Amino acid sequence: MEVEVKLRLLDAANHSRLKEILSPFHIKKLNQKNVFFDSANGILASQRAVLRLRSYSNNNNEITRCVLSLKAKSVLNNGVSRVEEDEEEIEPLTGEQCVKEASKLGLTGSRIIKRCKDEFGIDEEMGFVCLGGFENVRDVYEWRGLKLEVDESKFSFGVSYEVECENDDPEKVKRELEGVF
């Protein structure tokens, strides 16, 4: 079970200010592309599950890593997210091919795709469809013993900003973050 605090930042100015405050604690920057899939009849969404392919690229826009995730039974309450998450790394070339042609997802031999078939009944005939996605830049910080992820996410309809922190005591972390930020 993944438990994390998610706090939305109001705007670009707050995002920039937070990154400036945290700059001494910066660890790395990640360029991510998130693409979502479901069956044509929406079986995953109907059962509160999400199938995501996240690719990481370097500064030359070359994909260096791909992670397939199945998230289920998510609950977001008061800025604290609780979700069952299963992740599996796949070859970057395979990931690129699946984004271009969603039907290839069912042919990957992935453990997560097998779960989608077994637990949700997505068969070969039904297959997978691409639902679209978004890109984000994630800055990672090690601050006061916490790993903070500060995101700038670009959607077709605009940009959003948030801070995430995975932790076993999310309420305490949330109070601490709200008190500082």
Which CATH number covers residue 118? 2.40.320.10
pLDDT surpasses 90 at 136: yes
Number of domains in the chain: 1
**How many whole angstroms separate alpha carbon 155 and alpha carbon 181?**
24
Of 149, 32, 152, 11, nearest to 81 by C-alpha is 149
pLDDT of residue 2: 84
pLDDT of residue 79: 84
pLDDT of residue 102: 94
**How many whole angstroms separate alpha carbon 42 and alpha carbon 64?**
30
How does residue 179 score in pLDDT terms, banded at 50, 70 and 90? confident
Beta strands in 14-121 (DSSP E): 26-39, 49-57, 63-77, 80-90
Q: Which stretch of DSSP H or E encloses residue 174? A: helix 170-180
pLDDT of residue 60: 82
The residue-averaged pLDDT of 172-180 equals 87
pLDDT of residue 45: 96
How is residue 121 written in tokens?
Answer: 């009944």
The residue-averaged pLDDT of 119-128 equals 88
**How many whole angstroms separate alpha carbon 81 and alpha carbon 69?**
16
pLDDT of residue 121: 93
| Count of C-beta atoms within a 10 Å radius of residue 139 | 20
pLDDT surpasses 80 at 1: no
Domain that residue 127 falls in: 2-180
- Greater pLDDT, 74 or 66: 66
Amino acid at position 23, single letter: S
**How many whole angstroms separate alpha carbon 181 and alpha carbon 5?**
13
Percent pLDDT > 90 in the chain is 77
**How many whole angstroms separate alpha carbon 38 and alpha carbon 9?**
29
pLDDT of residue 165: 96
**How many whole angstroms separate alpha carbon 59 and alpha carbon 74?**
32
pLDDT surpasses 90 at 93: yes
Q: For 12-50, write each residue's pLDDT tens digit.
A: 999 999 999 999 999 999 999 999 999 999 999 999 999
Q: Is 23 left (phi over 0), alpha (psi -120 to 50) or beta?
A: alpha
| pTM of structure | 0.92
pLDDT of residue 59: 82
Beta bridge partners of 104: none
